[in-house]
Amino acid sequence: MEKKQLRQKGKQILSEMTSSKREKVSKQIAEHFRKTSWWQQANVMGATIAQRHEIDTTYIIEFAWNSGKTVVVPKCFPKQDHSMAFYQITDFNQLEKVYAGLLEPIPSESTLYEKKEIDLLLVPGLLFDQKGYRIGHGGGYYDRYLKGFNHTTVSIATKQQITSEVPHNEYDIPVQHIITEDGVLY
């Protein structure tokens, strides 16, 4: 399958999940997430703010705050160079709705963090394979950001989002860990 078809398949899997199932799976993933050594060792965690149909990252973010960790979230720059930067938030009120309904940090109300300051990065995706390669939303933001990122990367997904193989090229960087409702895959 081509990336475009796989992207559509991933979106379909997520959109067909009921809200109660999504909440249950999101909580199970958060429980597995917080038991990992790389989570426990991280001081600064980068996380996306999930869109309505995605696995809810709220549980992980709130647990990070309650554990005294710093949480940074991405701000994308689509009109410039399709780059992104991560800003610390201590409250969901520091977010604003931007293009495509995404929630991003308000730079004037948050603190910019450099890539090297992030210990653990939660990388979003629609489909994943057993090697950590992923199909994202197609903007390439994380593919660009992961170049030169030397710390821990993890993705969260339902087991239905795990597929045998995701097409990839030399520019694609796999995540190091994937967590589903069943636990840590690797």
The reply, when asked if residue 22 is annotated as ligand binding, is no
The reply, when asked if residue 130 is annotated as ligand binding, is no
The reply, when asked if residue 7 is annotated as ligand binding, is yes
The reply, when asked if residue 170 is annotated as ligand binding, is no
Map tokens 């293009």 to a residue: 99
The reply, when asked if residue 6 is annotated as ligand binding, is yes
Please state, in angstroms and rounded to a whole number, the distance separating the CA atoms of residues 88 and 106. 10
The reply, when asked if residue 3 is annotated as ligand binding, is yes
The reply, when asked if residue 68 is annotated as ligand binding, is no
The reply, when asked if residue 49 is annotated as ligand binding, is yes
The reply, when asked if residue 183 is annotated as ligand binding, is no
The reply, when asked if residue 136 is annotated as ligand binding, is yes
Q: How many CB atoms lie within 10 A of CB 112?
A: 13
- Describe the crossing of helices 58-66 and 19-34 by its angle, rounded to 10 degrees: 40
The reply, when asked if residue 142 is annotated as ligand binding, is yes
Strand pairing partners for 104? 96
The reply, when asked if residue 28 is annotated as ligand binding, is no
Q: Binding site for substrate: what residues are annotated?
A: 49, 54
Q: Binding site for ATP: what residues are annotated?
A: 3-7, 134-142
